[in-house]
């Protein structure tokens, strides 16, 4: 956020000044795209993993501040809820054995963090939505104590002007209201970062949008919320609704939601930043002292702090990122569609599939976005979130096709080609893409395992839904530590 603020500290003058500063940053960004030297020689990748804290009774453990202090590692940060943490893996190249390096580092970090959490009677769980969360857990009092979350909550709820409605219709239906954004804390995601050159950004973003539905279908891991079985990836609907600043009247007028798939293919990263400024009022109008025009004219690298902050409050599923590392600016696609978990190796399989497929499609002779309508890509995304491995998606030249067949017959070879272009070692490529292949052949991802485990507990062991969810969550946490892919997990 740039600096600490107090709740209710924003005046009309703050908002006017911020809006002017954001537009000034946008103008400077346009100039930079024309003739500035962005770092893109060897594209780095990054991973962010949002984590849940669970106590021995399989309930959410509201202890992130205490556990974060015990971990004492800058790679770990707070997240929205007191039962959340975030782990930021060190950026790296994926050529050679880069994925193995990721796996070793993630294992080391998570094992150490889990040992510290155990001293606070908690354990770390990698899952899209902790299945034992209920309405009594997701309340404003359980937001993390960092003031920025309280301010963000006040701004979103204040912009809406009324309670936030949650209405998710899946296998079962959830219909309720909330007076805070606390339900958003249930959404724990896995985010991939891919550094790209300015002139190829549009290709990678368009490719990422085109495959978002496929990613969600094979990686779904969030079937339960408030005791109900909803979508295979309920996190998609929950995140969109829990942060919606629009009352019904603005929805009817076609005002865009802040959690947004988008509405068109792009030709430049500038399209996305410009849309964010044009369509979305500022939530956190915090200005820094830098004059980006003066910095640019002096030969420096502008921070563009206001534009970056505003960009961070528009929750695109594939978000554009401008950042600076070692004094050089760079651009990234931040892919945000997937849930955390089930295991480290499952997440790295998801990463290999995404990085490889994005590159394979971005560099294809005939772009996928010239054959697939944007509305079809969005429909695929929501169909995949609802149905997961059972989704039927629309794909050029194939028509409507089961996602498992689409992946096995068409997309896995493309992903393998993309990983080869990154220079990924063949053994790494085959091991990780093999996990995606086996998920599709067995029809089992995290969401399928969770639902099968709950059904087994209910039907074979006579447990009610609440007891079945607690039993499943405990078993999930045990199996997760084996780091065996979820398609191999036993249900009992």
Query: 5-33 pLDDT, tens per residue?
Result: 554 578 888 899 999 999 999 999 999 99
In 3D space, the residue among 348, 346, 307 whose CA is nearest the CA of residue 324 turns out to be 307
- Rounded mean pLDDT, 279-285: 92
Q: How far apart are CA 251 and CA 257, in angstroms?
A: 8
Of residues 284, 287, 281, 285, the one with CA closest to residue 245: 281
Task: Name the 3-class secondary structure at 250.
Answer: helix
Q: DSSP for 321-374? A: EEEEETTEEEEEEEEEEEEP-S-HHHHHHHHHHHHHHHHHHHT-SS-GGGTS-H
pLDDT, mean of residues 205-220:
98
Helices and strands (DSSP H and E) totals, the chain: 17, 15
Residue with tokens 């950004």, as numbered in its chain: 201
Summarize the confidence of residues 431-438 as an average pLDDT: 98
CA dihedral 290, 293, 298, 301 (to 10 degrees): 60
Summarize the confidence of residues 375-396 as an average pLDDT: 98
Query: Which tops the pLDDT comparison, 43 or 61?
Result: 61
**Non-local CB neighbours of 7 within 8 Å, separated by 6+ positions:** 147, 150, 151, 154
Per-residue buried b or exposed e for 369-378, using 16+ beta carbons within 10 Å of the residue's own CB: beebebebbb
User: What is the Cα–Cα distance from 423 to 146, expressed in whole angstroms?
Assistant: 41
- At 11 the pLDDT is 87
Which residues, in sequence order, are bridge partners of residue 395? 399
Asked whether 289 and 306 are in contact (CB, 8 A), the reply is no
Residues 435-476 pLDDT 10s: 999 999 999 999 999 999 999 999 999 999 999 999 999 999
The pLDDT tens digits for 68-119 are 999 999 999 999 999 999 999 999 999 999 999 999 999 999 999 999 999 9
Q: What is the pLDDT of residue 4?
A: 46
Alpha carbon 329 to its chain centroid, in Å, reads 23
Length of the chain: 492
**Is the model's pTM score more than 0.85?**
yes
Inform me whether the pLDDT recorded for 1 exceeds 80: no
Return the closest-CA partner of residue 51 out of 117, 100, 134.
Answer: 117
The pLDDT value recorded for residue 8 is 54
- 161, pLDDT greater than 90: no
Which strand (E) or helix (H) includes residue 275? helix 269-279
- Whether the per-residue pLDDT at 483 is higher than 70: the answer is yes
Exposure string (b/e) for 76-89, b if CB count within 10 Å is 16 or more?
A: bbbbbbbbbbbbbb
Q: How far apart are CA 81 and CA 85, in angstroms?
A: 8
Q: Considering only CA atoms, give the Rg of the chain.
A: 22
**For residue 231, pLDDT beyond 50:** yes
**Domains (range + CATH), the chain:** 36-261+317-488 (3.30.590.20)
Mean pLDDT score, 230-257: 94
- Does pLDDT of 2 surpass 50? no
Give the Cα separation of 86 and 51 in Å (integer): 6
The larger pLDDT score, comparing residue 155 to residue 125, is at 125
Q: DSSP string of 453-492?
A: HHHHHHHTT---HHHHHHHHHHHHHHHHTTT--GGG----
User: Between 3 and 361, whose confidence is greater?
Assistant: 361
CA–CA separation, 491 vs 459, rounded Å? 13
Q: Is pLDDT of 59 > 80?
A: yes
| Nearest partner of 407 among 214, 230, 167, judged by Cα | 214
Q: Are 412 and 186 in contact (CB under 8 A)?
A: no
Please give the structure tokens belonging to residue 256. Answer: 């865009």
């Amino acid at each position: 956020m740039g600096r600490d603020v107090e709740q209710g500290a924003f005046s009309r003058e703050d908002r006017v000044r911020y809006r002017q500063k954001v537009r000034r940053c946008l103008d400077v960004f346009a100039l930079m795209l024309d003739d500035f030297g962005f770092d893109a020689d060897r594209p780095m990748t990054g991973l962010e993993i949002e984590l849940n804290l669970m106590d021995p009774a399989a309930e959410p453990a509201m202890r992130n501040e205490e556990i974060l202090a015990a971990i004492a590692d800058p790679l770990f940060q707070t997240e929205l809820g007191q039962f959340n943490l975030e782990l930021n893996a060190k950026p790296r190249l994926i050529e050679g054995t880069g994925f193995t390096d990721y796996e070793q580092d993630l294992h080391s970090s998570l094992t150490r963090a889990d040992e510290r959490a155990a001293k606070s009677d908690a354990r770390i769980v990698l899952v899209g939505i902790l299945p034992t969360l209920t309405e009594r857990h997701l309340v404003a009092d359980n937001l993390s104590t960092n003031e920025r979350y309280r301010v963000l909550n006040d701004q979103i709820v204040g912009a809406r002007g009324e309670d936030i409605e949650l209405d998710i219709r899946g296998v079962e239906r959830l219909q309720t209201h909330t007076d805070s954004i606390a339900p958003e804390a249930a959404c724990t995601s896995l985010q991939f970062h891919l550094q790209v050159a300015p002139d190829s950004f549009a290709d990678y973003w368009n490719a990422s949008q085109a495959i978002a539905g496929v990613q969600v279908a094979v990686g779904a891991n969030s079937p339960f919320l408030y005791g109900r079985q909803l979508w295979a990836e309920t996190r998609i609907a929950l995140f969109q609704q829990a942060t919606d600043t629009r009352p019904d009247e603005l929805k009817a007028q076609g005002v865009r939601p802040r959690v947004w798939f988008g509405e068109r293919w792009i030709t430049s990263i500038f399209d996305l930043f410009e849309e964010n400024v044009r369509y979305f009022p500022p939530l956190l109008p915090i200005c820094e002292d830098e004059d980006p025009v003066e910095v640019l004219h002096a030969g420096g690298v502008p921070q563009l702090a206001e534009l970056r902050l505003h960009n961070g409050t528009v929750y695109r599923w594939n978000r554009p990122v401008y950042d600076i590392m070692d004094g050089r600016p760079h651009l990234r696609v931040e892919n945000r569609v997937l849930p955390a978990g089930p295991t480290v190796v499952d997440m790295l399989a998801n990463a290999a599939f995404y990085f490889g497929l994005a590159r394979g499609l971005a560099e294809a002779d005939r772009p996928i976005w010239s054959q697939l309508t944007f509305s079809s890509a969005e429909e695929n995304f929501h169909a995949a979130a609802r149905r997961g491995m059972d989704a039927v998606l629309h794909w050029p030249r194939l028509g409507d096709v089961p996602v498992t067949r689409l992946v096995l017959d068409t997309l896995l070879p493309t992903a393998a080609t993309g990983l080869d272009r990154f220079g990924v070692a063949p053994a790494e490529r085959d091991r990780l893409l093999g996990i995606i292949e086996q998920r599709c052949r067995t029809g089992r991802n995290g969401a399928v395992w969770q639902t099968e485990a709950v059904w087994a507990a209910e039907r074979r062991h006579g447990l009610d839904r609440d007891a079945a969810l607690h039993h499943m969550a405990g078993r999930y946490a045990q199996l997760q530590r084996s780091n065996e892919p979820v398609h191999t997990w036993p249900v009992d």
